Chains A and B, each alone.
Chain A
C-alpha cells in the first residue's frame, strides 16, 4: 500500500446520461509504467482528465501521494501533492515561442530558477527542437507540437507522469525516442500512466495494462496475466507443407486429443475461437493453450514426435503483438455485442 502513488477508488463519471467511467478502481505503484488501453470512447481520456483535475468525478475518489507520503484526495486538496506532469489530448498552446512557454511552465511548478535554462536546452536538444527554441509555436508541425507537449509535461521532473497518447502524429524515429525516454524515466524512479492505441508501444514499455471499455475496467494486470485470464495465450506452429483440406478436420481432432491437457478446456470465452485453428496461408496451426511454460514445451514435443508423419514443424513461437491486439479488440468486441443486445 505504501508503494501506491496513484489510486482510483470506484470512480464514476457521467456526461449527462452517458456514463463515461463506471466504478473504475485501480492503483499505480511507484516506478511502474501503466498502460491505459481501450477503443475510442472507452473512457481513457476521461480517466486522465479526472486525474488532472480537469473534470470532477460524480462519485469515488482519486488519490495521489502527497509530499508527506500519504495518499490525498486530489479533488479535495490539491496542494502539496507529488510533482505531476500532464499531457492531455492533442496539446494546444498559447501564442508564444517555445522558450517562453517552457520557462513559464517550469516557473509555475517551482522548478529551481538556476536550472531552468539548462533543463530547457537539454530537453529541446534531446527531442531535436533546439533550433526552434525562439520560434512561435504556431509555426510548428503537428509532430513537433506533440514533442513540445511531451517536453512540457516533464519539464519540472515530475514523480508521476500522465500521458494521453503521447506518440500521436510522431514519426517512427520520434516514437522510438519517446519510448526510450520513458524507459529511462522509469529507471530514474518515475511513475508513468500512459494511454495509447499503439499496442506494440504499450507492450514494449508497460509493466501492467488497464483495459477500459465503455467506461468499465475490464482488466488490470500484467499482459501475461491478462492473456492467461482471457485465455488468449497462443502458440503458432508453422509447418513446412500445407495440409490437404480433406485431412484437416481429422488431424485437428487428433491433435486436440493429444494436447488437450495443455490447452484451455473450454472454448475461449472472449475470442469464441476454437482450441486449434489452421491458417493455410502460412501454413500454421494456431493453438490456444493454458499459458504455462512447461505446456509450451510439451506441446512442441507432442507435435514434433506424435505427428511426424503428418507434418514437419518449421517454426514454433508465441506471438507477442497479435495477442495483445486480440486482447484489446476482442474485449471491446465482447462489450460491443452486449451493448448491441441491449439496443
Chain B
C-alpha cells in the first residue's frame, strides 16, 4: 500500500516535468534537425581533413575535437539562451507559469534541451569513430568514450551557465553574445589578471582541454604545467580537477538560475 502511495506521489511529482520535457522536445524539433545536420557536416568535414595526415589514432580524435567546442558552444547557446528569458520576452510564461511551478517548468525544459545538445555531441563522436574505423581499422581505442563522458559533463555545466544568464537577460541574443565573448576573450582575460600559479579551473576553455587530451593513452604521465620566463602555463586539468570544477559550475549556476527564476516576476 505504502509502495503504491509512493509510486502515485512520485508520478504526480514528476508528471509536470515529464510532460514539459516531452513538449519541449516537440517545440524544439526544427532547431534539432537543423543542428543535427550542421553537427554531421562539421564532424564529417573535420574528420575527413584530419584523416589525410599520418597521425596515430588518438591524434586523429584530438584534432577533430579542437573545433568541436564551437559546435557545443553554438548549439548550447541556441538551445539554452532562450530557456527562461523567452518566457518573459515572448510572454509565453503568462500562459504556462500559473499552471506549473517554475521549478518544474525549468527542469523539464532543461532536460529536453540538454538531451538535444548531448545528441549533437554523440553525432560528432559516432562520425569520428566511423571515420577512424575506416582509416585505422580495428581495434579502436576506448579513450573517446571517456572523452564523451567529459563532454556530457562539460555541456551540462555550460548549459547551467547559459541558463543563469537567460534568467535575467532581456533577450536570447544578449545571452549568446555574452557566452561567446566569455569563452573567446573573457576567461583568458581573467587568466591574465590572476596570478599564474593558480590553476584556471574556472575557465571553460581550460576545462575543455581535458576532453581533447584524455584521448592520449599516455594522459596520466603527460606534463600539465610548464614554465616560460617565470610564468606558469597550465596545459590541461586533472580528471579530478575537471570533474570537481564542472560539478561546482553545475550546482552553483543551476541553483542560482532556479532561485532567480522563482523570484522573477512577469
Q: Is B101 part of the contact surface with A, judged by Cβ < 8 Å?
A: yes
Q: How far is the CA of A108 from the CA of B18 in the complex (A)?
A: 9
Closest CB-CB distance, B141 to chain A, in whole Å?
Answer: 42
Question: Whose C-beta in chain B lies nearest to the C-beta of A162?
Answer: B98
Binds A, one of B20-28, B37-45, B159-167, B183-191: B20-28
Is A342 an interface residue, CB under 8 A from the partner? no
Across the interface, A54 reaches (CB within 8 A) one of B16, B22, B98, namely B98
User: Does B34 interact with chain A (Cβ within 8 Å)?
Assistant: no
Name the distance in Å between B71's Cβ and chain A's nearest Cβ. 23
Cβ of A52 within 8 Å of any chain B Cβ, yes or no, is yes
A96 at the interface (CB under 8 A from B): yes
Of A83-91, A286-294, A298-306, the one touching chain B: A83-91
Whether B19 lies near A54 (C-beta < 8 A) is no
User: Contact at A105–B99, with CB atoms within 8 Å?
Assistant: yes
| A-facing residues in B75-129 (Cβ within 8 Å) | 90-101, 104
B94 and A53 within 8 A (CB): no
Let me know if A108 and B19 touch, CB within 8 A: yes
- Cβ A95 vs Cβ B98 within 8 A: no
Size bracket of the B interface:
20 to 34
Chain B 224-245 interface mask (CB, 8 Å, partner A; 1/0): 0000000000000000000000
- Within 8 Å of chain A (Cβ to Cβ): is B7? no
When the two chains form their complex, are residues B97 and A108 in contact, meaning their CB atoms are under 8 A apart? no
Interface residues of A in 62-98 (CB under 8 A from B): 78, 84, 86-96
Say whether B52 faces chain A, with CB atoms less than 8 Å apart.
Answer: no
Q: Does A263 contact B (CB under 8 A)?
A: no
Query: CA A87 – CA B91 in complex, angstroms?
Result: 12
With both beta carbons as reference points, the residue of chain A lying nearest to B100 in the complex is identified as A108
Chain A facing B: main interface SS: loop
**Interface flag for B5 (CB, 8 Å):** no
The reply to whether B23 and A104 contact each other, CB–CB distance below 8 Å, is yes
Q: Are B101 and A78 in contact (CB under 8 A)?
A: yes
**How many A residues touch the partner, as a band?**
20 to 34
Residues from 24 to 53 in A contacting B, C-beta threshold 8 Å: 49, 52-53
Q: Determine if B20 and A96 form an interchain contact, defined as CB atoms under 8 angstroms apart.
A: no
With A55-B266, A89-B91 known as contacts, the answer to whether A96 contacts B23 (CB < 8 A) is yes
Chain A contacts for B26, CB-based, 8 A: 96, 100
Grouping DSSP codes into helix (H, G, I), strand (E, B) and loop, the B interface class, with mixed when no group exceeds half, is helix
Would you give the shortest CB distance from A124 to chain B, in whole angstroms? Answer: 17
In the complex, which residue of chain B has the Cβ closest to the Cβ of A100?
A: B26
Taking CB atoms, residues of chain A closer than 8 Å to B20 are 104, 108
Cα A55 to Cα B266 with chains together (Å)? 6
Do B19 and A104 have beta carbons less than 8 Å apart?
yes
Min CB–CB distance B189 → chain A (angstroms): 35
Contact, CB under 8 Å: A54 / B266: yes
Asked whether any CB of chain B lies closer than 8 Å to the CB of A56, the reply is yes
Question: Which of A90, A94, A152 is within 8 Å of B27, CB to CB?
Answer: A94
Across-interface contacts of A109 in B (CB, < 8 A): 99
The answer to whether A88 and B265 touch across the interface, beta carbons within 8 angstroms, is: no
Whose C-beta in chain B lies nearest to the C-beta of A87?
B95
- Which of chain A's residues have a CB closer than 8 A to the CB of B265? 54-56
The CA of A104 and the CA of B22, in the complex, are separated in Å by 9
Whether A53 contacts B98 in the complex (CB less than 8 A), given A100-B23, A104-B19, A108-B19, comes out as: yes
Residue from A55, A104, A107, A110 with most neighbouring chain B CB atoms (10 Å): A104
| Inter-chain contacts of A96 with B (CB < 8 A) | 23, 26-27
Closest to A109 in B: B99
A149 located at the interface, meaning its Cβ lies under 8 Å from any Cβ of chain B in the complex: yes
B19: chain A residues within 8 A (beta carbon): 104, 107-108
- CB-CB under 8 A from A49, the residues of chain B are 94, 266
In the complex, chain B residues whose CB is within 8 Å of the CB of A56: 265
Are B98 and A88 closer than 8 Å at their CB atoms? yes
A residues 225-243 in Cβ contact with B at 8 Å? none
Q: How far is the CB of B146 from chain A (nearest CB, A)?
A: 37
Bound: A88/B92 CA distance, A: 10
Most interface-central of B22, B100, B101, B266 (chain A CB within 10 A): B266
Residues of chain B lying within 8 A (CB to CB) of residue A88: 94-95, 98
Please give me the residue from chain A that is nearest to B12 by CB atom: A110
Give A49 to B93 CA distance when docked, in angstroms. Answer: 11
Given contacts A100-B23, A110-B12, A110-B15, contact A92 B90 (CB under 8 A): yes
- Besides A54-B94, A104-B23, A109-B99, 12 new A-B residue pairs in contact (Cβ under 8 A), listed by A number: A54-B97, A54-B98, A78-B101, A84-B98, A86-B95, A87-B95, A93-B95, A96-B23, A104-B20, A108-B99, A108-B100, A110-B12
4 interchain residue pairs of minimum CB distance? A52-B98, A92-B91, A104-B23, A86-B98
29 pairs of residues in contact across A and B, judged by CB atoms under 8 Å: A49-B94, A49-B266, A53-B98, A54-B93, A54-B98, A54-B265, A54-B266, A55-B265, A84-B98, A86-B98, A88-B95, A89-B91, A90-B91, A91-B94, A91-B95, A92-B95, A94-B23, A94-B27, A94-B92, A95-B27, A95-B30, A96-B26, A104-B19, A104-B20, A104-B22, A105-B99, A108-B19, A108-B99, A109-B99
